[in-house]
Amino acid sequence: MSAELIFLIPLIWAALAGDEDRSTRFTFVFPSLERLTELFNIMDFKFCDGLLNVLQAPLPPPIQWFESLDAEHGIHDWAIYAMVLKKTGCSASDKLYIGSATASRRAVETRWYDYSRIYDTTPWNVVHAFKEGYTITSKVLLATCPLPAAGDVPTHRTVVLALEACFACCFWAMFYRDIGDRYYGFKQARIWPVDAFTYEGLCSHSPLREGHRGEVDIPKELLEKEAVRIHRKAIVYGKAYHDRQRLQKTEKFKAQQAGWNKRQRPRTQQLRHEAVAAKKFYCATCDYAGGDKDKLNQHEKTKRHKLRVKKAEMRDKAVAAAAPAPTEAHSTAHSTTQFTTHSVIHSALQSTTHVTVIMEETTAELKVL
């Protein structure tokens, strides 16, 4: 095994183990470090000159190192490549993109031809850099391997993606520098701190999170498990994104919300009517039915509702007090004062006027509060 692989395989394994959002294809194709190592041995990778020294240096390489690499050797093989983008006539940072070429024929040539203009497959950040005036000044090869037999394409492509992810992480070709929680799943596999790099990155996501695109014959249960995980993640991400937008209250967001609310109005009205009819958000004390939870919450904050609740409590107490007298054995335990209270309330209940008086006193008390 080459010295480069001895250095890289543990890094790739760390990247895989550290990314809980990695695609199931990786877990399925190499469930163990032994299998990953075995595949690398079969695939016969060749690496660019000086790679090991660069990876073991105390600081990451400057962009000039990538520009000095070979662009031709192995051009008909599969490859992990690097592209340097520059903008002439200004002091803007150079940019690095790392990708892989695994077409079944003329892989690298095909991929590089794709960059001769903007296609659907052109990475979004590269397209954006073109629009900012950047051009590709270098396209070089970091690692190559022979084209596999047709039956091995899915498995070997998965290995290439894992190696691409490792390079993108080591050389931090990722778009965000101020990463915060955006480690792209690479938290455990980085060699240098992200602020040590003198160029910017253009990769938008980790290749470890790319789906299998139907290439790998993954068991149904694993696919279903992955689908559930992705769905849950999308909900969490969508909610966090929405919350951020709501806090920032940009004009664009407000316009989007207004448009959405307008489109949804007939449906919202319909749901409110149904909720009222079904007494879904209902206050039994006031016999009030709201159209949604917000309406019920608002109702429960009104003085009128609070007053009625208080009156109902008083009424319940009075009814409880008017209940049949306790047994003799039990009544002997009551104090004289308690018997007196019972008697007063009992006689009050005989008269509507007295009950009203009690209620009015309660009302006055609530108003003061």
Q: Which residues bind Zn ion (CB under 5 A)?
A: 283, 285-286, 305
CB of 297 to Zn ion, least distance (A): 11
CB of 15 to Zn ion, least distance (A): 58
Instruction: Give the residue from 174, 143, 145, 137 showing the smallest Cα distance to 80.
Output: 143
Give the DSSP H or E segment for 78.
strand 78-86
Our CB check for Zn ion shows the closer of 187 and 308 to be 308
In single-letter form, the type of residue at position 22 comes to: R
Our CB check for Zn ion shows the closer of 33 and 283 to be 283
CB of 300 to Zn ion, least distance (A): 6
How many Å apart are CA 221 and CA 225, to the nearest integer?
A: 6
Residue pair 282/305 in contact (Cβ under 8 Å)? The answer is: no
Our CB check for Zn ion shows the closer of 263 and 304 to be 304
Instruction: Decide: helix, strand or coil at residue 279.
Output: coil
Instruction: Decide: helix, strand or coil at residue 257.
Output: helix
Two tokens at 241?
A: 């994104």
CB of 352 to Zn ion, least distance (A): 23
Instruction: Decide: helix, strand or coil at residue 366.
Output: helix
CB of 302 to Zn ion, least distance (A): 8
Our CB check for Zn ion shows the closer of 295 and 346 to be 295
Our CB check for Zn ion shows the closer of 213 and 304 to be 304
Cα R_g (the chain), whole angstroms: 35
- Cα 215 from chain centre: 26
